[in-house]
Structure 1
Amino acid sequence: MKYTVLQTLVRYSVFLFLASWLAACVDEVQLPSRSVESRLVVEGLITNEKPPYTIKLTFTGAYNSLIYGQNEIPVNGALVSITEIGGNTVFLDQDPLTPANYWMRDTAFTGKPGKSYQLKIQLENGVTYVSEPEMLHPVAEIDRIYAEFQERPNDEFFEPDHYVILLDTKDPSTTGNYYRWSGYGYVPRLSTGEPIGMGVCCNWCWVPVYSSRSDVLSDVLVNGNSISRRPVMSSPIYYAGRHYIEVRQYSLTKSAYQFWLNFEEQRKRNGSLFDPLPASIEGNVHREDDASVLALGYFGASAVSIKRTVIPGDTLNAQRIAIKYSNVFIENGNCQLVYSQGQLTPPANW
C-alpha cells in the first residue's frame, strides 16, 4: 500500500501529538543529594604482641552522592595516648610520611590479657575523643592451617584458580568467646619483564594478597567444641610457584564483634541508591564532653594467635597454566612495578 504525502503528514502530526502528550504526563523527579559533615574516623588495635602499635586517624572528606570529594583527610597535630586502666599511659607519635598514622613504640608497654585499654585523642582545636575501655581477652591457639586447591568455574575466564586456606582451632569451654580472622600472603606472578642485554629482567616477582578483615564468629553455637575447616582466605594462583601464607586469630569483645558484623554487612551491599553512606559505622569512640557524638571506626584490644605455612605449588605445571590462562594475568613491564607492592624475592624467614 502506498501513502500519499498528505496521509504521511497526518500520521506524523498524530505521532508528535501523542509523544508530546505522554511527555507532559511524566513528572520530573528531583532526587536530593545525600551529604554528611566531616567526621573523625578511628582505626586501631592494641594486642598482646610486642609494639609498635598504630592508630590511624582521619576525617571523612566532603561527600555527597552526586559529587565525589576526597574520601579521607589525615588528622594532623593530634595528641594521642593509650592508657591501661589502673596502669600506665603512653603517648603516640605522628608519622611524618603518612600523617594519618600515629605510632606507639614503647617496648615496655604491651597489651596483657585481662587488662582494659582506653584510647584518647585531643584534636588541634581542643576537642577530645575517648574510647570506651576495651578488655583484652585471651584467645585460643590455632591448631593448624592448610590449603585445598579449587579450580575456577568454567565461565570465569578472568578469574584464576586458587587455594582455599582453612583453619582448625578449639573453642574453650567458657562461654562468650568471639573471634576475628585475617590473613595475608605472597604469591608468584609473571610479567613480560624488561629487556636487559640479550635477555629479560624482572619478569617474575611475589605480590601480597590479603583476606577480608571482617571474618568473625561467636561461640554461641560451637561453645567448647572444635572449629574445623574454617575458610579464612583465598590465595589466587596466577602462576606456578610457592605461596607464603600467614593467618591471625584475634579475640574480640562482644561490642567489637558487633562492629565487625555491621562492617561486613555494609561491605556486601550492592551500592544501590538507597544504601547507607559509605564508612557510616559508629564504634566505641566518642567526644569526652558529649558521649552522644560518636566517631566512626573502632579502637580494639585483642590477643593474637598466629600460624604460617608455605604451599609448595609443585603440583602445578607452568606450561599447563600458560595454556589455560593464555596471557590474561601477564602484564607488560617490570614485575615489581606493574603489580602493586611486587618484590623480586620471596619473603625472608618464613
Structure 2
Amino acid sequence: MKPYLPFLGTIVVLLLIGLIYGCVLPYNPPEIKQAQSYLVVEGSLNLSPSAISEIQLSRTQNIGEKEAPNMEQRAIVRVEGDKGSSFNFREYQPGKYQLGAASYAPNEQFRLFIKTTNGKEYRSAYVPVIKTPAIDSITYRLLTNNEGVKININTHDPSNNTRFYRWNFEETWEYRAPLFSGYEIINNEIIPRSEQIELCWPTRKSTKITLGSSINLSQDVIQDVPITEVTALSGKLARKYSILVTQYGLSQEEFEYWTAIAKTNESTGGLFDPQPSQVTGNITCLTDSEEIVFGFFNATTPTQQRIFITENLGRNTLADQACAPLDTLPTHEIIKQAKEAPFLVLIEFPVPGSVIPWYTTGSIACSDCRHIGATNKRPSYWR
C-alpha cells in the first residue's frame, strides 16, 4: 500500500517494526491482513499567531499502481477542543483542507474529527499544544575541498519542557540560465522580450525526517544537529542560497511515531520506496474499529529561521558547459522553424550586407530559467 504523504512514503506490510533503539520505546503496530484503500491523514493544528493550518486526506494504493493516489474529497474536517473550541476546515483543493488563524484557551487539548462522504467517521486522540521554543541559530560549515556546505541547527528550551524535536526545511536559490534570451516571437514577429526569463528562484521542500532529543541530558539543549548537506555540484550554491528551517516541538508519542517512520525509510532507501512495516499513528475509525488509519495529528506552535549562504561554489557545472547557441538564422527562417521545433531567440546577430535581421537561437532548457520548475518573480524575502 502507498499513501500520498511526503513523509510516510509507500506503505506495504511485510513485517512489524522491531525495537527502536535509544530513548524510543518499542512500536508494535497491528498487521494489515489484506490489500485495501485506507485513509491517510497528514497535517496539524498550527496555533502560532496568524498561522494557517492544513490537513491533507488521501487513500493508500497497491504497490503496482502508477496513477496519482486518490484524494479524499468533500469530507467534513473539524478540530475539537476539550474546553469547547471547534474549528471547521475548508477544502481549498481536492483532498486539502485549510483553517485560518485560531485562538485557544490555556491548557486546552485538541483532537481531529473527520467524516467522509461514505459516512465513515474518524477521530484522533486528544493532544496537548506543544509550544515550540525559538531556534537559537542555523549555522553552516564548508565541506572538504569546498565540495559544498553542511547546515546545522541549535536550539534550547529554558524551561526544559520540550525534549523532543523535529525539523524540516525549504530551500531556495538564485539560478541564472546559461544563455540569455532577449527576444520572443509574437504573432509571427520577433520583438524584444516583455519579461526577463534569465534569472529565477527555484524552491524545493525537504523530504527528510530530521529528529532530535535531549531526553538523556540534564538540560534541554540541542547542539549542531545536521539538517542537510548542499553540494557544489548541485548548482544551488553558485550564486545565492537560502534555507528556511521549521522547528516542531513533539510529544514523546509523536517522536516515537516519526522515529519509526525514519527507521523504516532508512531500511528501504527512500521516502517513496515500498515500506517494510506499517506505521499508523493516533487516529482511529469510529465506525469500524478494525479499520486501519495512517497519520498522526498534533497541535503545535512551530518556529522558523532563515539564513542566506553566498559561498559561490559550483559555478562551472556540466549543465552550463553543455549549453551553446543552436544556430544563427534570418528572421523568416526563425519564424518558420519555430513552428516545427521549440527554441528561444537569444540576440540579434548583425550580418554585413544583409537587409534582413539575423538572430541567434538557443534551447529552452538553456535559455529559460523557468524550465527547471522555478519562478522568475523575486521572492519578497530575498535580499
Do the two structures share a fold, i.e. TM-score over 0.5?
Answer: yes
1:251 aligns with 2:249: yes
Tell me the secondary structure at the aligned position of residue 136 of structure 2.
strand
1:316 aligns with 2:312: yes
Q: CA RMSD in A?
A: 3.2
Is the contact made by 1:283 and 1:294 (CA closer than 8 Å) also made in structure 2? no
Q: Which of 365, 370, 377 is the matching residue for 1:337? A: 370
Runs of 4 or more, structure 1, over 6 Å off, are 328-331
Is the contact made by 2:39 and 2:59 (CA closer than 8 Å) also made in structure 1? yes
1:135 aligns with 2:138: no
In structure 1, the partner of 2:42 is: 43
Change (3 A) 1:113 1:236: farther
Structure 2 unaligned residues grouped into runs of 5+: 1-32, 184-190, 324-363
Q: Which moved more, 1:205-214 or 1:44-53?
A: 205-214
Tell me the secondary structure at the aligned position of residue 259 of structure 1.
helix
In structure 1, the partner of 2:139 is: 146
Is the contact made by 2:130 and 2:300 (CA closer than 8 Å) also made in structure 1? yes
Aligned equivalents of 1:163 and 1:300: distance in 2? 33
Q: Which moved more, 1:75-84 or 1:45-54?
A: 45-54
1:76 aligns with 2:73: yes
Q: Tell me the amino acid that sits aligned with residue 217 of structure 1.
A: G
Aligned equivalents of 1:78 and 1:230: distance in 2? 39
Tell me the secondary structure at the aligned position of residue 282 of structure 1.
coil
Residue 285 of structure 1: CA displacement? 0.9
Residue 271 of structure 1: CA displacement? 6.2
> CA-to-partner distance for each residue in 1:278-297, whole Å, 9 max, x for gaps?
79421111111344433112
In structure 2, the partner of 1:60 is: 60
In structure 2, the partner of 1:11 is: none
In structure 1, the partner of 2:225 is: 230
> CA-to-partner distance for each residue in 1:243-273, whole Å, 9 max, x for gaps?
122111111112211111111122222369x
Aligned equivalents of 2:113 and 2:295: distance in 1? 14
Tell me the secondary structure at the aligned position of residue 365 of structure 2.
coil
- Compare relative contact order (CA 8 Å, sep 6+) and give the higher one, 1 or 2: 2
Aligned equivalents of 1:257 and 1:190: distance in 2? 40
Aligned equivalents of 2:319 and 2:179: distance in 1? 16
Q: How many residues align?
A: 295
Residue 306 of structure 1: CA displacement? 1.5
Q: Which of 98, 104, 110 is the matching residue for 1:103? A: 98
Please, what TM-score do these two structures have when normalized by structure 2? 0.68
> What is the percentage of aligned positions where both structures have the same residue?
20
User: 1:182-331 maps to which residues of 2 (within 5 A)?
Assistant: 182-193=168-179, 195-197=181-183, 202-237=197-232, 238=235, 240-270=238-268, 277=275, 280-311=278-309, 313=310, 315-316=311-312, 321-322=315-316, 325=318, 327=320
In structure 1, the partner of 2:379 is: 347
In structure 2, the partner of 1:30 is: none
Structure 1 unaligned residues grouped into runs of 5+: 1-33, 154-160
Aligned equivalents of 1:165 and 1:346: distance in 2? 24
Please, what TM-score do these two structures have when normalized by structure 1? 0.73
Aligned equivalents of 1:348 and 1:223: distance in 2? 41
Tell me the secondary structure at the aligned position of residue 268 of structure 2.
coil
